[in-house]
Structure 1
Amino acid sequence: MKLVDQCRTKQVLDYIRDHCPKLDQSQPAQGKGKGKKAKKQDEPPPDDNVCDLCHSMKILHVEDDTLKVKIVESEVSGVRPYIVCCIVNDLHFTEASFKKFIQMQTKLHDTICDKRNVATIATHDLNKIAPGDLLYTAKAPSALSLTPLSRLKPYTGEQLFQQLTAEADALRKEKKRNVYSGIHKYLYLLEGKPKYPCLEDASGRVISFPPITNSEVTKMSHESKAMLVEVTAHGSLGACRSVLNKFLQEALLLGIGDSQESGYHTLTVQQVKIVDLEGNLKSVYPSRTDCGFEDSTDVKVYRLPKK
């Protein structure tokens, strides 16, 4: 009755088709086919106060004024050539949910990212990024410079690697263990690299140094209202997409995109394009094939058409 009272006819029928037993087994194939066809079309988003019987992800099509990431393919091709990004708007963190959000990223790095061997996730407070397009490139260790997370001064890539290596050795001796912990356990991913990958904002500041750290300048907090999510990999673009799909699904289920306590949540995601230096499109995320969530029956994805 709650469903009938609060939801539109189409949502009621969708719920019946997905959850109720079918008496006539000769008809489901036709209904199922129609359902798949309908998914390919742009669907209007649910009203804010309409349906609370499923999680909702709203995907906004890229607009002319949406930031783009320009990739310097000649620099990153032999270093870390793959990157996808998106923007998540309308964040509603509490201190408790933000702590869970950070823990979620750590868990994903250890699992689906295979301890950052497959891919690396970076999140940035969008409002702390200089307006304009981003540049994904690679630089010599001595030429790359950023203020790393939780550090007070800038380091070159070379200095940071040496500093982290010294800290790792000191910690290992102090704890009398033969393994590294925290960020130090990823240092081997940079060993012997002639260039380090980095993401720069329009002002030329390095905001990300994958797979090691982000910049303190664009650090997320529980007060952040919008974020840029970046996933990079050395193996394949598909790995980036799979990891970012999982990240968005987990972020949706955490409820960081709304302040409701109904048990069902909403997340608003803005597409971001990756282009080469001439402006030719290399990829866009989320595309039509992303965010399928076939394994989750209580998540609806709404793709909003361009205005």
Structure 2
Amino acid sequence: PPSVQTLDVSNNKLSEVPVELADCPKLKDVNLKGNALKDKRLEKMVNGCQTKSILEYLRKGKGKPEGAEREEPRKKKRERNRRKDGSDGDDEVGEAQKLLLKVLHVSENPAPLVVKASPGVKEVRPYIVCCVVKGMNLSPGNALKRFLSVQTKLHEDVCEKRTAATIATHDLRLVKGPLLYDVRPPDDLKITPLGRKEVKAKDLLRQLQSEAEEQRKQKKRQNISGLHRYLQLLNGKENYPCLVDAEGTVISFPPITNSEKTKLGKTTSDLLLEVTSATSLQTCKDIMDTLILKMAELNKSTLENKDGEPDSDHESNDIASRDNASPGCVSANCLPLVLEQVRVVDMDGNLKVLYPSKTDLCTVSSLVTVIH
């Protein structure tokens, strides 16, 4: 009945959960634990996620509301890519093998980063999720190069060539908060793109278009590479989205480029992650989950000295990391990445999204242990 507020059907013989459950407007608390559900992802969620997330999963995954036809293939593709990478949720990993992530809550953080979202983004690119990650080791060998390759691969796969979402990564030391997620006309938006001089967005797109045409002529084919492939994503937009720091500098212009000002380097250990989308908030969260999982895997691999191209600093860095860990510990499990929650608020300070909340990282729960 629509008036039900609490439902406890734990330890029964349920194999499926009716979609209609998601349509109960007053339902605040549902207990489905102890049932052998056919949907294994849902089975994991009922043990680790709040009711709101479970109902949202039922609504989106099964009920297929408006827009779900487009969202469903994306979810399937993300799941397929996770399985391909050996992270299938059905393959349980022993607790000892799981990657550790520690979440620092806003209330525990003396200076939490805040992102304000202006009303104008609703018309252009409404969804943004941010997170701070501390403790990455990008200095040995080709660790930085490998991390940038991971980002490129995610853009190709789960981000669907940036049509579903765009990832941006920044060196936290170079980010001046609080941040503003805003929109600006092409003539007003100025950015210093990676590897280029400061330019207006309008001129940057014109340059990239010209380069794309030149590329086509030289190679005598239609396929173009690099940033040029994303120009059509801004077609017809009167305003462009951007992330602006406290000094008024644009540090991100999705889906095109980051800024040279906050570029990652080998000495970067603390990062600001940003995922924006015109599709849905859940798309941003799922992609952020996957990005953080990949970072934890990369950090573990680097710490265990599996980096492909050792350099002179590699060995000393690796030894130093092991010295800082507990005796006999040579695994990144001893040095968990720390995730700092980042709030996105509206211009009046009302919360729009907090990541990671307790309901996040469910999509990678079989591979990571989150310490709240």
Both structures adopt the same fold (TM-score exceeding 0.5): yes
Distance in 1 (alpha carbons) for counterparts of 2:301 and 2:277? 26
Q: Which amino acid aligns with 2:156?
A: D
Distance apart, 1:198 and its partner CA: 0.2
Distance 1:89 1:256, change over 3 A: farther
Q: Normalising by structure 1, what TM-score?
A: 0.79
Residue correspondence of structure 1 range 1-307 to structure 2 within 5 A: 29=34, 53-62=97-106, 63=109, 65-73=111-119, 75-93=120-138, 94-130=140-176, 132-151=177-196, 153-255=197-299, 259-261=303-305, 262=330, 264-265=332-333, 266-293=336-363, 296=366, 298-303=367-372
Distance in 1 (alpha carbons) for counterparts of 2:338 and 2:365? 20
SS at match of 1:288: coil
Distance in 2 (alpha carbons) for counterparts of 1:257 and 1:133? 33
What is residue 8 of structure 1 aligned with on the other side? none
Q: Normalising by structure 2, what TM-score?
A: 0.65
Distance apart, 1:196 and its partner CA: 0.4
Distance in 2 (alpha carbons) for counterparts of 1:224 and 1:167? 31
Q: Could you list the runs of 4 or more consecutive aligned residues of structure 1 that deviate by over 6 angstroms after TM superposition?
A: 35-38
Distance apart, 1:114 and its partner CA: 0.5
Q: Does the 8 Å CA contact 1:90/1:257 hold for their aligned counterparts?
A: no
Distance 1:174 1:263, change over 3 A: farther
Distance 1:256 1:99, change over 3 A: farther
SS at match of 1:77: helix
SS at match of 1:184: helix
Q: Does the 8 Å CA contact 1:199/1:208 hold for their aligned counterparts?
A: yes
Distance 1:54 1:256, change over 3 A: closer
Distance in 1 (alpha carbons) for counterparts of 2:213 and 2:129? 34
SS at match of 1:278: coil
Q: Does the 8 Å CA contact 2:185/2:239 hold for their aligned counterparts?
A: yes
Distance in 2 (alpha carbons) for counterparts of 1:257 and 1:268? 17
Q: Which amino acid aligns with 1:86?
A: C
Structure 1 or 2: more helix by fraction: 2
Q: Does the 8 Å CA contact 1:59/1:301 hold for their aligned counterparts?
A: yes
SS at match of 2:159: coil
Distance apart, 1:37 and its partner CA: 9.5
What is residue 317 of structure 2 aligned with on the other side? none
* Residues 101-142 of structure 1: CA deviation (Å, up to 9, x unaligned): 000000000010000000000000010112x30000000000
SS at match of 2:181: strand
Distance in 1 (alpha carbons) for counterparts of 2:219 and 2:47? 58
Distance in 2 (alpha carbons) for counterparts of 1:115 and 1:163? 21
Distance in 2 (alpha carbons) for counterparts of 1:38 and 1:243? 22
Distance in 2 (alpha carbons) for counterparts of 1:160 and 1:215? 13
Distance apart, 1:95 and its partner CA: 3.7
**Gapped regions of structure 1 (runs ≥ 5):** 1-27, 42-50
Q: Does the 8 Å CA contact 2:125/2:276 hold for their aligned counterparts?
A: yes
Distance in 2 (alpha carbons) for counterparts of 1:256 and 1:69? 30
Identity of aligned residues (%): 43
What is residue 309 of structure 2 aligned with on the other side? none
SS at match of 1:255: helix
CA RMSD of aligned residues (A): 2.4
Distance apart, 1:282 and its partner CA: 0.7
Distance in 2 (alpha carbons) for counterparts of 1:91 and 1:106? 18
Distance in 2 (alpha carbons) for counterparts of 1:294 and 1:178? 38
Distance in 1 (alpha carbons) for counterparts of 2:186 and 2:300? 36
Distance apart, 1:258 and its partner CA: 7.5
Distance 1:258 1:283, change over 3 A: farther
Structure with more relative contact order (C-alpha pairs < 8 Å, separation 6 or more): 1
Distance 1:171 1:256, change over 3 A: farther
Q: Which amino acid aligns with 2:226?
A: G
